[in-house]
Structure 1
Amino acid sequence: MTLFAFSVRRTLAAAPMVVVMIVVNFLLLKAVPGDLVDVMAGESGIATAEQMADLRARFGLDRSALDQFQAYLSQLLRFDLGFSFRYNRPIADLVLERLPATALLVTVAVLAAVAVGVAAGVLAGRRPGGRFDRAVSVLSSLIFAVPSFWIGLVGIVLFAVQLRWLPIGGYATVGAPGAGWPHALDVAAHLVLPAATLGLGYAALYARVTRAAVIETSRLDFVRTARAKGISETRVTLRHILRNALLPVVTLSGLKLGSMLGGAVVVETVFSWPGLGRLAFEAVADRDVNLLLSLFLCNSLLVIVMGILVDVSYAALDPRIEVAA
C-alpha cells in the first residue's frame, strides 16, 4: 500500500471520530449553566426579564437543544462556523485573525523544545548514571513539578521588570512599525518569554523520552553489530540510535502541535498573547457557545490531522514499519 492510499484510508477512518467529537462538544457546552445573555445582563446591571428574553430569541438561545444542534450542523455543512454575538463578527474571521499568533508561538516552542530536549536526552542516554544524566533527570522532574503560569510570572518579574531585557507581554509594541525587519525583531522580542515558558515543559518531556529510547535502542543487536564493525560511536549514535529514538518524539511533537489550543491557553493569558488560547479563555468567560464550539472543532480536527501525519512519518523514519500495518 502506498503512502497516499494509507493517508486516504486513515482520513476516511477519522470521519466517524469527527462526528462523535461534534456531538460530544455540543452536549458538553450545553450542559454548562448560564449563557451569553446572563453575562451581558450581569455587565449592564439593568437588564429586565423581557429584555433578556428578547436577546435569547435574537440569539436563538430560546430554542430547544435539538433545534440548536440541527442549526449548528446545517452551518457546518455549509462550511460556516457561525457568528459570535459577543464580538459581533463572523467566527471564521476571528479564528483566522488569531491563528497566526498561536501557530507562531506553538511552532517556535515545539521546535526549540525538540532541539534542546533531544540533544539533552541523547547525551544523557549515552552515559546512563553519569553526572549529566542525573542533572537532566533532576532538572526535568523540577520543570514537570512547576506549573507553567508560575514559570511565566517568574520570567516576567526577572527578565521584563527587573532586568528590562524583554517586553512584559503582548504581540508587538504599540505604535511600532508594522512591517519589515523592525516589526519582525519586535515580534521576536515579545515571543521569547511565552515561547520559553511553553517550551520548557515540552523540552523536559522530550529529554526524558529520548533518554529512555536511547538507552533501550543502545542494547539492541543491530547497534552492537554496528559497533563490532568498527563504526565510530558518533556515527552509531546519529545514524542508528537516534533515528529509532526519534519515533516517540515525533509522536509527542505531533500531539503538541495538534493540541496547540489547549497548551497555549495559560501561557497566552499570562503574557496577553493575542492567539486562539486567549480567545478560548475569553469565550469561556463570556459564555460564547458558538465561538467555543468552533474553537473546539478546529482543535479536534487539527489533532486528527496531526495524528495522520505522525503515522505517515513513521514509515519515513523507520523502514521496518510498513504502512500496510
Structure 2
Amino acid sequence: MSYFLFKRLLTLLATLAATSVIVFAVLEVLPGNAAQVLMGPDADPAAVAAKAAELGLDRPALARYADWMRGLLRGDMGNSYSYGTPVSELIAERLTLTVPLAVLAMLLTTVLALLVGVVAAARHNSAADVGLMSLAQLGMAIPNFWFAILLILLFSVRLQWLSAGGFDGWYWDDGVWAGLWEGLKALILSAVALAVVQAAILARFTRSAVLEVLREDFVRTARAKGLSRRAVLWGHVLRNAMIPVITVMGLQFAELLAGTIVVENVFYLPGLGRLIFQSIANRDVIVVRNCVMLLAGMVVVVNFVVDVLYAVIDPRVKAHEL
C-alpha cells in the first residue's frame, strides 16, 4: 500500500508542477496590462511604467515565476493589484462560501444519483426505468445557469420562499453557529442548480454499473442463500459497482468547484467564482493565477483521493500496481 501511495503522490506533485507552468504561461500571453487598468486608460505612459515597476511586472517572466513558486511554498501568494490585500486572505474569505456550496451540491448529486440509478437498474426496462432515464436525459441537457434563473423565478419571485441572491456569511454567536440555517437557505438554490446536471450524469453511470454487476454470479449466489433483493442490491451490488461511479464523482466534484464561477454570479454570491470573475475584469493577474492554481490543485487532490479509494474498495487495483 505504501508503494502504491508513493507512486500516486509523485504523480500528484508532477501534475501540480506542470499545471503551475501552464497557468503562468497562459496568463503571461493574455492581452492587457494590470498597471494600465489600475492607472486608467488616460494615464501618462511614464506613470504606467512606474506602476508596472512597482508591481514587478517589468521583471523577466522566469524570475516572476520563480518568485511565485517560492511564495507558494512559504504560503505567501502575494498582494492583489486591485484590492491591495494579501491574495491568501481574499481566497480564504471566499472559500468559506465556495467549499460549502460545492460540498452541498455534491451531497445532493450523490443522493439523487444513487437513488435514481439503483432504482432504475433494479426495475430495468420497466416504466419507472424509462421515466427516470428520460428525466436524467433532460437534466443533462439543461444548462445550470438557465436552471438557476428558473429556480429564482419560481422560489424567489413567485413563491418568495428563498432569497434570490446574496449571502450574509456564517457567524458564531454564544457558542453556536447562529448563521448556519440562514447560510444554508442562501445556498440551497445555487446548490440545486449545480447538482441537477451532475446528478443526471451520475445517475446514468450508476445505472449502467449496477446493471453490469447484477449479471455476476455472486448476485445469484447471495439470492440463493436467502438474502432479500433489497439487501443484495444495496449491500453487495452497489459496493461492487462503486469503482466507475467514484471515478465520475471525483471528476464531478472538481467540475462543481469550477461551475461555481457561473452560478455565483447568477445568485450574486461572494465566493471564489465571483472573485475570479471580478479579477479577470480588473486584470488582476496575481489573483487569477492563484485562484486557478488552487482550483487545479483541488482537482488533482480529488483525483488522488479517488485513486486511494480504488485501492480501499477493490484491493485488486493495488495488487495490479505492485
State whether TM-score is above 0.5.
Answer: yes
User: How far did residue 245 of structure 1 move?
Assistant: 1.7
The reply to whether residue 37 of structure 1 matches residue 35 of structure 2 is: yes
Partner of 1:302: 298
User: How far did residue 177 of structure 1 move?
Assistant: 7.5
Q: d(CA) in 2 for partners of 1:217 and 1:22?
A: 40
Q: d(CA) in 2 for partners of 1:70 and 1:177?
A: 38
- The one-character-per-residue Cα deviations of 1:6-34 (angstroms, maximum 9, x if unpaired) are 32331123222221111111111111111
Partner of 1:20: 18
Contact 2:194–2:256, Cα closer than 8 Å, also in 1: no
Q: d(CA) in 2 for partners of 1:101 and 1:76?
A: 23
Q: d(CA) in 2 for partners of 1:127 and 1:113?
A: 21
The 5 A counterparts of 1:173-322 are: 179=173, 180=176, 182-322=178-318
Q: d(CA) in 1 for partners of 2:171 and 2:205?
A: 42
The 5 A counterparts of 1:35-114 are: 35-41=33-39, 44-114=40-110
Question: What is the RMSD of the two structures over their aligned residues, measured on CA atoms?
Answer: 2.0
Q: d(CA) in 1 for partners of 2:79 and 2:183?
A: 30
- The one-character-per-residue Cα deviations of 1:104-139 (angstroms, maximum 9, x if unpaired) are 000011011101110000000112221111112111
Contact 2:223–2:229, Cα closer than 8 Å, also in 1: yes
- The one-character-per-residue Cα deviations of 1:250-308 (angstroms, maximum 9, x if unpaired) are 22222233455312111111111221111111122111111111112212222221112
- The one-character-per-residue Cα deviations of 1:17-61 (angstroms, maximum 9, x if unpaired) are 2211111111111111112223334xx454222222221111112
User: How far did residue 181 of structure 1 move?
Assistant: 5.5
Higher mean alpha-carbon deviation, 298-307 vs 65-74, is at 65-74
User: How far did residue 321 of structure 1 move?
Assistant: 3.6
User: How far did residue 167 of structure 1 move?
Assistant: 0.4
Return the letter of the residue paired with 2:61. A
Alpha carbons of 1:260 and 1:82: their partners in 2 closer, same or farther (altered >3 Å)? farther
Partner of 1:11: 9
Local SS of the residue matching 2:4? helix
Which runs of 5 or more residues in structure 1 are unaligned? Answer: none
Alpha carbons of 1:40 and 1:151: their partners in 2 closer, same or farther (altered >3 Å)? same
Which runs of 5 or more residues in structure 2 are unaligned? Answer: none
Q: d(CA) in 2 for partners of 1:312 and 1:164?
A: 44
Contact 1:268–1:278, Cα closer than 8 Å, also in 2: yes
User: How far did residue 182 of structure 1 move?
Assistant: 4.5
Aligned residue pair count: 319
Higher mean alpha-carbon deviation, 259-268 vs 132-141, is at 259-268
Alpha carbons of 1:146 and 1:247: their partners in 2 closer, same or farther (altered >3 Å)? same
- The one-character-per-residue Cα deviations of 1:166-220 (angstroms, maximum 9, x if unpaired) are 00111228xx976446522211211110111011112111111101111111111
Local SS of the residue matching 2:6? helix
State the TM-score, normalized to the length of structure 1. 0.91
Higher mean alpha-carbon deviation, 79-88 vs 177-186, is at 177-186
Contact 2:148–2:189, Cα closer than 8 Å, also in 1: yes
Alpha carbons of 1:13 and 1:119: their partners in 2 closer, same or farther (altered >3 Å)? same
Return the letter of the residue paired with 1:29. L
State the TM-score, normalized to the length of structure 2. 0.92
Contact 1:80–1:92, Cα closer than 8 Å, also in 2: yes
Q: d(CA) in 2 for partners of 1:15 and 1:28?
A: 20
Segments of 4+ moved more than 4 angstroms? none
Contact 2:99–2:257, Cα closer than 8 Å, also in 1: no
What percent identity do the matched residue pairs reach? 37
Alpha carbons of 1:259 and 1:35: their partners in 2 closer, same or farther (altered >3 Å)? farther
Alpha carbons of 1:323 and 1:92: their partners in 2 closer, same or farther (altered >3 Å)? farther
Return the letter of the residue paired with 1:81. M
Aligned with 1:170 (options 166, 180, 186): 166
